[in-house]
Amino acid sequence: MKNPIIQLKGLTKNYGRQIAVDNLNLEVYEGEIFGLLGPNGAGKTTSILMMLGLTEPTRGTATVCGYNATRDAIKVKKKVGYMPDSVGFYDHMTALENLVYIGRLNGLSGTEVKEKAVRVLDLVGLTAAEDKKTSTFSRGMKQRLGLADVLIKDPDLIILDEPTLGIDPAGVKDFLSLIRQLSREQNLTVLLSSHHLHHVQQVCDRVGIFVEGRLLAEGNLETLSKQLFGKNGYTTVINLEQALPEPWPHQPVLAAWDFIDDITSYGHTVEVTGSQNITPALVRFFVENNYDIINVNQRNYGLDDIYQKYFESGTGKDNYKKTA
Ligand SMILES: Nc1ncnc2c1ncn2[C@@H]1O[C@H](COP(=O)(O)OP(=O)(O)OP(=O)(O)O)[C@@H](O)[C@H]1O
């Protein structure tokens, strides 16, 4: 049975008449990387602050690492490493000095703190820069040091708010692979908020789409496609040399296959939609039945399509209602 590290039940936050977070229900499991994806102002930071006990929910509960985040905020703080979107350091101190300082604030003793700081700097790939002042650090290096700050206390969960903001593309790729590696090696649960779908897509096991305070859909890519497009994720379009007869005798044969949900044939074209990628099997079928294939195209719905559907018209809610 999966062990939930974050459990949000009906979590709601109003600022006056504005609803920043609206009845959020979500579970994030041990060892998982979960991406909270949404545009600016969607309510991602407010949700995170409630999970950390830094702001009180208007309604609902956030249970984090087994503790109620509002009532037991200090216990939650001990288990969770939080990296805000902008991390500050003491510029006149080196990376190692900054980290030792944070380690002490987290209760590590004089002897163990330095040894641990050196180890954590190695984990995040900053050993070569450990004696450099952080005033000389690039944004990407600062994010790595920010990650070291949260790792030094051996958290069960790390929460990263817009961690890739302002890093160049190569730096983003490196930073995200580092997160994935750490999560896999240390069974670390990660909650990552971002408005960059490509970043989220690269690293997350599951994604929640968050718009105007509401979680519109969540799951892995395949589940999201199903929820958002109302159909399964894989469509294969095959164009043939010969026109198909009406009715097409092979239609019922294909319809009996597992994983196929829909077949459309018209003129020289067959479109097959299913829950798995069956393009190779379809190609074999057509060749074995003496059809001449002109071309084959695969259409699978990715986060790009999902993001466009939810964000292109400005409000995801309207789009959602149309298809729900
Ligand atoms: N302290 C506050 N007082 C009043 N309104 C607030 C406060 N904090 C956030 N809000 C409002 O709540 C909504 C959600 O904001 P939030 O910062 O949680 O969104 P976000 O998804 O993290 O966006 P961003 O990526 O821009 O940080 C916004 O409309 C914001 O203006």
Question: Is 60 exceeded by the pLDDT of residue 233?
Answer: yes
Residue 246: per-residue pLDDT? 85
Q: How far apart are CA 144 and CA 164, in angstroms?
A: 10
Average pLDDT of span 145-161:
93
Q: How far apart are CA 220 and CA 201, in angstroms?
A: 10
Residue 324: per-residue pLDDT? 27
Question: Is 90 exceeded by the pLDDT of residue 288?
Answer: yes
Query: Which percentage of the chain shows pLDDT scores above 70?
Result: 89
Q: What is the ipTM of this complex?
A: 0.95
Residue 67: per-residue pLDDT? 96
CA of 41 to the centre of ligand 1 (A): 5
Residue 106: per-residue pLDDT? 87
Closest ligand 1 atom to 46 CA: 18
Alpha carbon of 1 to those of 29, 189, 207: distances in Å? 10, 16, 20
Alpha helices in the chain (DSSP H): 44-51, 73-79, 95-105, 110-123, 139-151, 169-186, 197-203, 221-229, 251-255, 279-288, 303-311, 316-323
Q: Is the CB of 194 under 6 A from ligand 1?
A: no
Q: How far apart are CA 28 and CA 205, in angstroms?
A: 10
Closest ligand 1 atom to 21 CA: 14
Q: Is the CB of 43 under 6 A from ligand 1?
A: yes
Q: Is the CB of 44 under 6 A from ligand 1?
A: yes
Q: Is the CB of 42 under 6 A from ligand 1?
A: yes
CA of 49 to the centre of ligand 1 (A): 11
Residue 97: per-residue pLDDT? 95
Question: Is 60 exceeded by the pLDDT of residue 29?
Answer: yes
pTM score above 0.80: no
**If we measure between CA atoms, which residue out of 316, 322, 323, 229 comes closest to residue 41?**
316
Mean of the per-residue pLDDT values of the chain: 87
What the chain holds in terms of domains, given with CATH numbers, is 4-226 (3.40.50.300), 234-300 (3.30.70)
Question: Is 70 exceeded by the pLDDT of residue 166?
Answer: yes
